[in-house]
């Protein structure tokens, strides 16, 4: 059997086809949404950090790194930039003097509340509305990974 036939057989299973379709959709959507966020001088990681701080309050770098599944060093770099831009500041709420948490400043809230509706509008234009049962299936994927 030729290698291409072997590979084709492996790629033909419903699970692998599902993964490939989901991954390709994710790559395309990520690229599209990153481009539209950049119009507001906002990267995807910056948006994610601001979203977490806006919706669930102050977070420490460790908490943010766990939420976003990236290294603490990566988060620290973004937090430094956000602080320099005046969008966040440190606080002892949910942190400590030694290990502060970060919260949005008034400027940060104003900025995020400008970016969020624009981003949501773009998402609504680009994304199909999936049936609820399909959304439930997609939400199971991370749970299945955690249980292994």
Percentage of the chain exceeding pLDDT 90: 73
Identify the domain containing residue 50 by its residue range. 45-120
The 8 Å CB, 24+ separation contacts for 27-32 are: 29/126, 29/127, 32/122, 32/126
What six digits make up the tokens of 127? 């994304």
What CATH number is attached to the domain comprising 87? 1.10.10.10
User: Would residue 114 count as lying in a domain?
Assistant: yes
User: Would residue 51 count as lying in a domain?
Assistant: yes
Higher pLDDT, 146 or 49: 49
Residue 93's pLDDT band, with cuts at 50, 70 and 90, is confident
Mean of the per-residue pLDDT values of the chain: 92
Digit-coded pLDDT (tens) for 112-121? 999 999 999 9
Residue 122's pLDDT band, with cuts at 50, 70 and 90, is very high
Digit-coded pLDDT (tens) for 26-74? 999 999 999 999 999 999 999 999 999 999 989 999 999 999 999 999 9
User: Would residue 97 count as lying in a domain?
Assistant: yes
The 8 Å CB, 24+ separation contacts for 130-139 are: 138/22
Q: What angle do CA 97, 106, 87 make, to 5 degrees?
A: 65
Q: Measure the CA–CA gap between 19 and 11, rounded to whole angstroms.
A: 10
pTM of structure: 0.81
Q: What is the pLDDT of residue 71?
A: 94
Q: Answer whether residue 1 shows pLDDT above 80.
A: no
User: Would residue 146 count as lying in a domain?
Assistant: no
Q: Measure the CA–CA gap between 126 and 120, rounded to whole angstroms.
A: 10
Q: What is the pLDDT of residue 148?
A: 64
Q: What is the pLDDT of residue 87?
A: 98
**What's the number of domains the chain is made of?**
1
Q: What is the pLDDT of residue 96?
A: 83
């Amino acid at each position: 059997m030729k290698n291409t036939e072997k590979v084709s057989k492996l790629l033909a299973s419903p699970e692998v086809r599902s993964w490939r379709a989901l991954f390709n959709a994710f790559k395309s959507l990520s690229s599209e949404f990153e481009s539209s966020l950049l119009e507001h001088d906002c990267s995807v990681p910056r948006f994610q950090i601001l979203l977490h701080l806006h919706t669930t309050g102050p977070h420490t770098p460790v908490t943010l790194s766990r939420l976003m599944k990236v290294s603490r060093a990566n988060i620290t770099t973004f937090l430094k930039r956000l602080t320099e831009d005046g969008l966040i500041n440190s606080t002892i709420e949910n942190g400590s003097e030694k290990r502060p948490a970060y919260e949005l400043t008034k400027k940060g809230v104003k900025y995020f509340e400008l970016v969020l509706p624009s981003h949501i509008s773009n998402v609504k234009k680009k994304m199909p509305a999936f049936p609820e049962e399909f959304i439930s299936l997609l939400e199971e994927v991370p749970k299945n990974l955690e249980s292994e």
